[in-house]
Structure 1
Amino acid sequence: MAVIRGITPLDVTDLRIQGHAQAIPLRLYRRAAATEGLPVILYFHGGGFVRGSLAEADYAARYLANHTPALVVSVGYSLAPSYPFPAALEDAWHATVWTQQFAHRYGGNSKKIGVAGYDAGGSLANGLALIARDRGGIPIDAQALFGPMLDPSLTLLGDEQRLASDITATDCADSYRAYLPQSSQRLHPYAAPLESKRLTGLPATHIATAENDVLHVEAETYASRLIAAGVRTQVIRYASVSHAELGNHALALLEVVHFFQWHFGERPCV
């Protein structure tokens, strides 16, 4: 059991489920006093597809669980280059199927599902929303993307020097090379949604971007394309914030809490 800023105790449960190519860890967070009816948020950590962990996602997951409140399922997906595309995305789908079947055991309401992620996790959250739309059976109500990686072509990267970005074009290229080793994969709509001609039917979307981040251009371009496709979308760029800071940025997390509360039909509880 853990506490965020002395507000409300959280129950935290670690378990493993079968993923696409190997067993993957999940870490579940919920308010200790909540026994049923919580909306569910699947959360995906960052790390450029090649690193990252449940531990690094801990602060954001705790914040969302406590303030929404929600049952947060933090997903430890398979990492490239050992497990390239589509392993991580299929792990995300396995976690979603598990959530639909078993969330009620942990107080979750599987009829209210949102997805969220930072960096590569934002790409996976968005890819999962596309998969859920196409495969059907598990509706996703809303998605929140923090500084997502959405453009393997790297054609929309901002100027790293002008932006004083803490990540570079080389960092992004290395990540995509490991995750998408085949050039054809870099055009797949689940990995490169900016290449997709069909964005209709996606859930309501919130995109948070950072001013000092080469990725904010592609994320904001994607927001405009979602709006053009009729997807309810909001985007906020945070001034004087770097890519590394964005995933745990207090104002960005609070805005996402409000976003999920609105789309889950929950009363504010922050």
Structure 2
Amino acid sequence: MPQIHPTAIIEEGAVLGDNVKIGPYCMVGGKVTLAEGVELTSHVVVTGRTSIGSGSVVYPFASLGHRPQDLKYAGEDTVLEIGCNNQIREHVTMSPGTAHGGGITKVGDNCLFMASTHVGHDCQVGDYVIMANNAVLAGHVYVEDYAIFGGLSAVKQWCRIGTHSIIGGLTGVEFDVIPYGSVLGSRARLGGLNLIGLKRRNFSREEIHALRGAYKAIFNSENGTMRDRAAAAQVQYAEFEGVQTMTTFILGADGRKFCAPRKHQDD
């Protein structure tokens, strides 16, 4: 049975799974679903049509599911869906979707959202994502698995953040970040590959070598456009999954801009 502190307020209609723990002074709205083993430590507010997956822990003063920070929002019954085994630390805010943005904000599994991070409306966040303190995502940002955000970083609306990429602290991201990329600077520039992350995730030496070769071919060459160079690298390294992931990310985004080394910023 759920364990509910007597000072907590649970509105009628909320669905609570087995072994849910709701601590002092929490508030849970009537359209909320908390799956098995979810813990709200204390002073947590979960409202709107919000669901939290099993094993997730939410820390004090987090606010999940309140109306999105979008002036076009007119009270539509939109959704915030949070996956399993997430750690949502103090003062984190997450907004539901909007009608014009697809109606759902979705967070995957096994993520860590450190204190005061923000996930804006209509964001799609993958699995194993880490957001350090005060990192923020504006609306409609798409984040792939294993991405890491440094403290006080900020991502502009509609950007895509590729898998296994890393965003430096205090970095403002205005354009898409390639998979496996490392970006830094007050306005994000591509500084190379996230080699430390690749090694920690047990990418093979051959795969890393191929990624470095493809990266150099795409960003250190002056031949053709970035799309031309990505297409050539895709053929050259056809047997390497990581290179295919990176080049497909670039080739599948006609008309979009990417964070790049300074000399290619406008490529």
More helix, by proportion: 1
Higher gyration radius (CA): 2
Higher RCO (C-alpha under 8 Å, 6+ residues apart): 1
